[in-house]
Amino acid sequence: MTILTRRAALGAALLLVPGIAAAQQPGVTVAAPWTRAAGQGGTGAGFMTLHNAGTAPDRLVSARAAIARTVELHSHTNDNGVMRMRPVPVIEVPAGGEVQLRPSGFHLMLIGLAAPLRQGERIPVTLVFERAGEVTVELSVESAGARGPAGAPAAGGHHH
């Protein structure tokens, strides 16, 4: 991958123009946020694609939702054949790139649901980015076994 070298080059470029970089940061956009039906008191998972049109990397540092007691950032790793979720402190969004939150990958974990997530509903969640600040999205609730958002293009597709 060339991301590390590109990051290094961008980092050097930003050092030359301190103060300007932040003002030029167009921020992060979110595509196809969705979740699965889940029961009251249980946990839900949030999935979406984070696009960073900016020239500097950004990081998702936290998230919150009125419907959940707490929202954690999780990764999903294959530990000798056993899939495990674990909290991560941040999710990196590369400059000029994107990161996907999806089943078996990074995701939001909505813990302690105050109400059920019912298919067809939309659940507001506020994402907090290091640079882009707060971005509120609505998770579209799909069926309990869904592998992706309804009506979305194939994985990797873009909404416009």
Shorter beta-carbon distance to Cu ion: residue 56 or 137: 137
In whole angstroms, the minimum distance from the beta carbon of 137 to Cu ion comes to 18
Amino acid found at 134: E
Q: Which of residues 101-140 bind Cu ion (CB under 5 A)?
A: 109
Candidates 10-18, 29-37, 82-90, 112-120; binding stretch for Cu ion (CB under 5 A): 82-90
- Closest approach of Cβ 51 to Cu ion, in Å? 22
CB of 130 to Cu ion, least distance (A): 21
Q: How far apart are CA 98 and CA 58, in angstroms?
A: 10
Among 51, 59, 74, 102, binds Cu ion (CB under 5 A): 74
How many residues bind Cu ion (CB under 5 A)? The answer is: 3
Q: Which is nearer to Cu ion, 109 or 146 (CB)?
A: 109
The window from 8-16, 55-63, 71-79, 131-139 that contacts Cu ion (CB under 5 A) reads 71-79
Q: Which residues bind to Cu ion, rule: CB under 5 A?
A: 74, 85, 109
